Each structure stands twice: as structure tokens, then as C-alpha cells.
Structure 1
């Protein structure tokens, strides 16, 4: 087992809290102090801290009866809902390890995660079960089935005892596993204890000024570790967690969720924030942006009239490592300073401290450091290295991020040293995208890149060298990528090239890649059904084009996952029912119209 004690030797971080508490203990403290206060608001339902606690206690006992327990993984294949929040708490109360699965990801990706993690149990609900891969050979708990509901209702709702769990809870026990993009072409499971949670909770509550009257948005997808930030910020302070009833939040849907939920506090990626106007969400008093670099223009627009904070942190260090203070419109955008319990080092290629202003690789250490990567000891040893600035046994994590320290101590982010990028709040290994596309029989070589469209912002694009005698189409490549990659990792453009440009050192010259080619759409075949007519009008408005063919392909015209949210929302307003995966799998107007339901 890895040592996860905090780095006491560095003077770069604030005093580390002396308390040690598990997620279950942090939650139960608030239940005792605010039992009747609203804990969760979702779909018109309000659950008090006492009610949520009772449901979590009953579910924890059911999970123990089904084989969960200390050190055993429980997969949670649940959509954004109160079920998911309660299940996370129940797993923590049982002393088990929760593994969140995003049911909107491709079945092949979910299959790999389940095979790699080998959880003892899988929890889901009927609406999500249909999206799971076939052949899952592990016990499954269908939480909303009549049989399970009857069993749950009969179980005691009091807090669990150590005897029921088989021993006391410890903050240093494994608490959760999060899968992130992996450069080998396979996602990697990051295994974390609960040791960093108390400091994270205290830092977020203090910086965000969360009180019992606050209403915190639950925005992050289940498979993203920011989910814990939202829970901890709300529940540690006795605030209300607002859980929208939709999996897709951007643009109009995000604005409605914030307004309808009267959300006062939110943690959002800059790309999602950019889809709204500050004037449209007057209740939002505190905004934390995280997950990708924060543009100065966003600070200029959003800092006036509210508390705006920029946060930074990889999954390997319990969600958040650094935060700024309140930003003003004229501030240089930094990633701030370490939160309590975290030490930051900026080192050169020889792992020597970089001078102030000098760019080096950012390393992290502290109590919240992950144990490592699940079932990957070699990768763990490569990325989690001995800390020469601390006592024997301390480790530090190589983030792969470039940073420098200003004279005042704030840290500037300068991008990546490898092929990992941040896109709309998600960490993407370009190597994973390339590996998946290279598995297509008609692809000899693939290069993925982050390209900034002057009008539409950052987009993930791919350049493909075809195998001899083949001409793979963009549609074929997109369909292939969608089978293995989540929506946000499916490229928005596929450009065929004769050869990959190389640097003098023989490496891929990404700067030498041409601008991606957006396919032109032949006009001529107009809408033939009411659904096609609706979609043609939406496409014409989205892409500012007069001539639209029913064979027009959403992604080949420049669409991306953020614009897909707008498409889905407009379609719903017109009476058409579409889902995010529907747009990925059926991107043309005629395909979408054929499977969408048009309400009369």
C-alpha cells in the first residue's frame, strides 16, 4: 500500500487540518447538526438530511448483504439523480469503494472498465440498465425494482455500526476509483483514499463561502471527480445540492437548471460557462471554473457582480490542488496557490526547483495523493515518484503540466508537456483517440489534435493517413470512434492526409498539420417528412446556411458536443425527442428524423 501522508517539509502550502474523517463521517456530522434542512432538490422533490441519511443507511445494509464491504468495489451505473448521491453515501457508509460509471459512454468502454476493476457489485436503475453492456458477470442490484424497494423499506435506517461493517472506518482506506483517459488507448483507473477529503471540503467551503442557505449545482458527470467537490461543498456546510433532471447541461439547459434551481454556487468548466450570459443567471453568486484553462475574456465577463475563482487539480490528487482568490476583470489568470494539505513543486528536467518565473513541470504531494493506477504498477511507479524534498516514504505526482511561479507565489499554467489536453472540462489523452482510430482497418496512421476554430472555439480533430488502397469516409471513422470513445472524445473533423508531418527529431509535428477540412454538403435533396423539415430548419439556423441537404452531417458541418446540446434542446422545443448518443450514432438529418419521435 502506498504512503499518503501529507508533505510536512514544504512551506508552500497552508497548515494541514489535523482532523481525519471519512466521507461517511463528514456527511453524518452535518446530519446531526441540520437533520431537517434540505439536502437534495431534484425534479420537484426535496429530501432533508435526515431523509437522505435514512435512505443511505438502508441501502448500505443492502449492499453489505449483497457482498459489498471494506476494500471491495461497488460500480454505480446511475444517471445524475438522487439515486446516485444516495448510493455514493451508502457505499461510503458500508466502508466500500465506489466506482462511478457514466452510462452515456460507449458499451465497449464500460465493458473495459468493469473487466479491469472487477467490482464485487453493480448498482443501477431501470432507465440506465438498458445502456449497459451485455454479458456483465457480477451481481447486479436494480435499485428501483419493486423487489429491491420492498427489501430496502424493511431494513433499519439508523447509522451503521463498526460491527456491521466488520471494523472501523479509516480515512486512509481506499474510497473511490475514477477512470480517466489513458495514453495507451485504454482508460486508466485512479485509486484514491479518503485522506484528502476533509481538507478538500474545508477549502471549498471556505473559498466558495458556502453556508446553510446556499444552493449548490450538481453539474459534473458521474465519472468525473468534480462530482465529489459539489457534494462536499454542499454537504459539509449543510447547504442544498440541486440535482437537475437531465444528463446534458450547457447553453439553454444549463441556464434553465441554474435559474429553476435558484442555484447560488456552481463549479463549471469554462466551456460550459461560455455558453451563457452572466445576466441570465442572477442568482449565481459564486462561480468556480475548473477542468481546463480559463480565458481572460471569461474573467472579464463573469467576475463583475459575483465571486469568481479559478481552480486546478488532476484526478490523481483528490480533485483539487490549487485555487485562486476572488478574481477581478483585470487580473492575470493564474491557478492560484495550493489548498491545505497539498504541496506544489515546479521542477526542471533534473527535478531541481525552478526559479521564480522559470517554467518547469508541476509536481504535487500531500495526503490527497492517489494510491496509484488500478492494476498498473509500472505506470504508477512512473508517475508517482519519491519526493526528495520530504521525509522518506513521501511521494509526489508528476502532473505533466507546465507551470511557473510568480513573485507573489501564485502559479501560472503553461499547458502540457505531453499529448494530453483539456477540452470542455474533460482531460483527453490524444494518444487514446489515435489508438482507437488506428484500429480501423482502413487507417494506417492517425493523429489527434486540439484545434481552435475562430468562431466555435476549441475542437478535437483528427488527421488520418489511409491504408493503401482504401478511402475511409469521415462517417465511417466517426462511427468507429463512437463505439469506443465517450462523446467528448469523438473528433469533430476527420481530415485525410498523405503523410504525418515530422519535426527534425522525427516526432509528430502538430504545428505542421493543416487546418482540418470540414466537409461541404451537397444541396438538392430537401426534407420529405415533418421531422426532416424541423431538423433542416434547426441545422440552417445553427450553421448559418441557406442550402441544407437531408444528408447533411452534423459533425462534418462543424458540430461538436456543446453545439449538440443546442441541437437537442431546439429539437425538443419543436417536439422532437433526441439524446446525446443519438446525435453521435445518427448524425445526418435523415438518420435523426428516422428515429426521432415528433410529438403532435
Structure 2
């Protein structure tokens, strides 16, 4: 893919900045080896059939076994009417059958829609099923009772599909462009589905540096929630390179101590004892701001990558290989075949070195929001710099270029924050808190990585407030502390004064952890 920017869109910049706008903001050109991500897995199943593809709690499957089991399930899906371009629910927990399900859905040409059925509220599962027009849901036999019942969809327990017997060859036919639909938080409290294509995934997973040097014999940890876009990086990143995917049990650190590659949020990585994980050779973090000390600690014995990018630009779209000698931590440069533009509030290029909003273009840009054309038009815009019908995405992240062409992250332009790597709309949490009996007003802030809710008056039951959020929003939206106060501080314009809220946090006030 050739990315050449349109100079007519850069007329407001000095000539020197025009050159840097293009050289800094344009990733290198590269061509992925495959145009369907599961075809990369199938190539390794043919080349190294006896290699271990996946392990979990003492069980394992070779590439040949995994490929054939996925073929059997794909044939079953096709028999049930699943066609290329359809969307199939993958409502499961971390397991080998989960991996079988992902590959089977891709093989039949459909897109998988992942959710961890243990922790996703029923109201959100119903919303996802309806929004994605899901007719078939893959799950496990013990999780099937958690799925909302309906005569409009069929539930299949993957672990009950025979692992032996007659083998069905790969289902013939075409393949849809969308590989996975990742649901992210929305301003109304209902998640929005992002259409991530095969082309998007092949570009990040099969090209450097997103490939992370993974190859046959590499052991890659699978520690993240399957609904999180970075779990796609773990799972398909491993299987598309002939590596072994090591799915964790309850103990994350136990898994990490035994692998070569770890992909995680800084929050998860920071919870581990790095001194006990020195077998790890490669680390990639994204999803929230990475503290300097975390990069310093892990880069002493591993190649440490700091990355950034929302789901809408395919997991991440910038990466830095951290140099512990320089000790300059940034979010790096654009990935191959992609662009990053630093623009002002009117969409005009900022001079190099000035802070502006990051817009992403090129092969990372996903295929919009599922069933929400209005939001797609708001966040996905025609790319005036690349042209040719290409789109760019408004990340709402603030950044600026360093003199040597790397990106510094400078926060966000809206009220959306990251908690444990997941995007959380503070207004959605506030709305859930205000469903509590006797709650007159509420607000939510992020303070030092901690989500804190405030409810008023002080007589509000904070335990009931916590349950109100638990019942309506994903687990990561539940505040770690909820403080009940007589009145919330207000500005002279009648808005909650969030700058004054920290003064209300008293260790003697009852909180909910």
C-alpha cells in the first residue's frame, strides 16, 4: 500500500513542517503474507502439524488437531445456516474450545463477536445479540445457562463437538471482510460494535513491529479478557505465526513466568513481580498510560514495546521499542501502511511540536460502527491528506511530535477514560449511579488510575449504588470506591466542580472496594 499525502491539504504549514508532517506521520510500506488471518494459521497447520498450538491447564492441541476440530465446527456452523458476512456470538471464557470457536467462525467466512459470559451483564448480552443480528452463539456447556434465552438464536456448546471421528474438510465458499466485532463502551451506556476487518488484522499482526518477532516455538501468553481487542493480538498473533498460545488459569503470574511474549495493559503488567518473570523475552503494553518505571523494570531483560490506539484503528496504530539507555518513553511511530495526523480543533495540521488531536489513517482504519451510521460519520471522516476515498479516524487522543519523529501522548479531549485497559465513559457510570434509590445527583472521576463515584445526599446506600452499576454496566465500569456526600461542589455555571471532588475523599468515609 503506497501512502503519499496530498500537499494541497498542507498549505497552512511552513515548507519544513510539510516535509516532517509526511515523514513523521507516514508508516513504512509493507505487504502482509496473507489477506485472511486464519489462512496464516492454516499454513502453519500444514507446515508443522505436530507443533503445539494451544495449551490450557494441562491440556493441549497440536496445529493439526486444532485445524481439524475447527473445520468440524465450521462445517456444523455452515449446516446451521451461517454464511460469509454473518456474525456469530462467541460467549465464552478463556479455554481451548474458545480458540476452536474463533477459528471455526473465521473459516466459515463469518465474524466472531467475543464476550466473556461470566462477567458481561445480561442486558449487554441482549444488546449485542440484537445489534449484531446474531443467530448462532458459541459457548461452553457450563456457560450456556448464562446466555439470554430466545427463539431467535441457537446456542452451541463447543466443548460438546466431538474431538475425533469423521473429519470435515474446510468449508468451501467466500469470506466476509469483517473478522471480528469488538464492542466498546458508548456514551449511552450501551456498547458500540466496531467492525475489524481481515485486512486490518493482517496489517498489524503479520507485519513488523506488530508481529513482535513471534514464530514457531515461541510461547505467547493469553491473559486478557476475550472481549478486549488486545486479546485478538494475543490469540491470532500467536496462531498466525506458528507459536504456542498459553491460556492462563486463575494465576496470571504463573502463566507469565512460563512464556516468551506478554501482551498486556500497564495495569496488569504492574501487578506482576518482574523479578519472577525473567524468562519473558518480549513485552507489549497498550490500553492506558505506561509509567516510566514499568518500562525501565521490564526492559532490563526483555524487548519492551509501548503502543497506543483505540479499537477503531485495530488494536494499536503506533508503537515504540523502548530504549532503556535513552529512557525516553513515547508511543512511537505509525505502524506500516498507516498514518497519524496531529490536527487542531478545526481539522488543520498543527505545526510540528505543537499539541493537537491525533487522527489515524491508512490500513489501520476499521470498517465503522455496527448499525450506527451517525456515529460512524462523526468519528470516521474522509482523509484530505491521503485522498482517494480513504478514511481517517478521530481518536480523541492528544499528542505531539518530538524532534526525532516520535509521538508523545498528552491525554484526551473528552470525558472518556481508560480503566484496566478498557474504555469507560464517565457519564455512563454517573448515569448508573443515579439509578440508586434516593440518589439526587452523582458524578464520577478517575484519580490516580482509580475510578471513584460520588453520590448525594450522604444518606444514599453506597452498597446499593455499587450494585446499580454492576447490574447495568460491564465490571470494569464499577467504581473501586463510592463516596456519599451531602452535596456535590458546583461551579458558578451550575456544573459539578470535579477539581474540588478530591477534597471530599476522606479515609473515614465509608467506601466500597
Normalised TM-score (structure 1): 0.78
Residue of structure 2 in register with 1:420 after alignment: 416
- Counterpart of 1:62 (choices 67, 73, 76) is 76
Residue of structure 1 in register with 2:13 after alignment: none
1:496 equivalenced with 2:479 (yes/no): no
Q: CA RMSD in A?
A: 2.2
- Paired with 2:504 and 2:84, the residues of 1 have a C-alpha distance of 50
Rate the CA distance shift 1:518–1:493 in 2: closer, same or farther, 3 A: farther
- Counterpart of 2:386 (choices 383, 390, 394) is 390
- Paired with 1:80 and 1:401, the residues of 2 have a C-alpha distance of 31
Rate the CA distance shift 1:511–1:206 in 2: closer, same or farther, 3 A: closer
Residue of structure 2 in register with 1:485 after alignment: 473
Residue of structure 2 in register with 1:512 after alignment: 500
1:293 equivalenced with 2:289 (yes/no): yes
The Cα of 1:400 is off from its aligned counterpart by: 0.7
* Aligned pairs for 1:403-418 within 5 A: 403-418=399-414
Q: Is the 8 A contact 2:2 2:29 kept in 1?
A: no
Residue of structure 2 in register with 1:196 after alignment: 200
The Cα of 1:156 is off from its aligned counterpart by: 2.9
SS at match of 2:143: helix
1:133 equivalenced with 2:133 (yes/no): no
Q: Is the 8 A contact 1:36 1:49 kept in 2?
A: yes
- Counterpart of 1:113 (choices 123, 128, 135) is 128
- Counterpart of 1:160 (choices 156, 171, 180) is 171
SS at match of 1:184: coil
Residue of structure 2 in register with 1:344 after alignment: 340
* Aligned pairs for 1:13-32 within 5 A: 13-17=27-31, 21-32=35-46
1:142 equivalenced with 2:157 (yes/no): yes
Residue of structure 2 in register with 1:49 after alignment: 63
| 1:142-190 alpha-carbon deviations (Å, 9 max, x no partner) | 2234xx43xx75553433322xxxxx336xx122111111112211111
* Aligned pairs for 1:206-217 within 5 A: 208-217=212-221
Higher deviation after alignment, 342-351 or 236-245? 236-245
Normalised TM-score (structure 2): 0.91
SS at match of 1:112: helix
Paired residues, number: 494
The Cα of 1:443 is off from its aligned counterpart by: 2.4
* Aligned pairs for 1:568-579 within 5 A: none
SS at match of 1:25: helix
Q: Is the 8 A contact 2:433 2:468 kept in 1?
A: yes
- Paired with 2:507 and 2:130, the residues of 1 have a C-alpha distance of 38
Residue of structure 2 in register with 1:462 after alignment: 453
The Cα of 1:205 is off from its aligned counterpart by: 6.3
SS at match of 2:466: helix
* Aligned pairs for 1:10-409 within 5 A: 11=23, 12-17=26-31, 21-103=35-117, 104-135=119-150, 137-145=152-160, 148-149=161-162, 153=164, 155-162=166-173, 168-169=174-175, 173-203=177-207, 208-246=212-250, 253-259=251-257, 262-328=258-324, 330-409=326-405
- Counterpart of 2:431 (choices 409, 429, 435) is 435
| 1:419-472 alpha-carbon deviations (Å, 9 max, x no partner) | 1111122111112212222233422322111012xxxxx210111234xxx932
SS at match of 1:21: coil
Higher deviation after alignment, 50-59 or 441-450? 441-450
Moved over 4 A (4+): 5-8, 152-155, 204-207, 502-508, 518-521
The Cα of 1:6 is off from its aligned counterpart by: 7.7
Gaps spanning 5+ residues in structure 1: where? 163-167, 247-252, 453-457, 522-555, 560-600
The Cα of 1:516 is off from its aligned counterpart by: 5.3
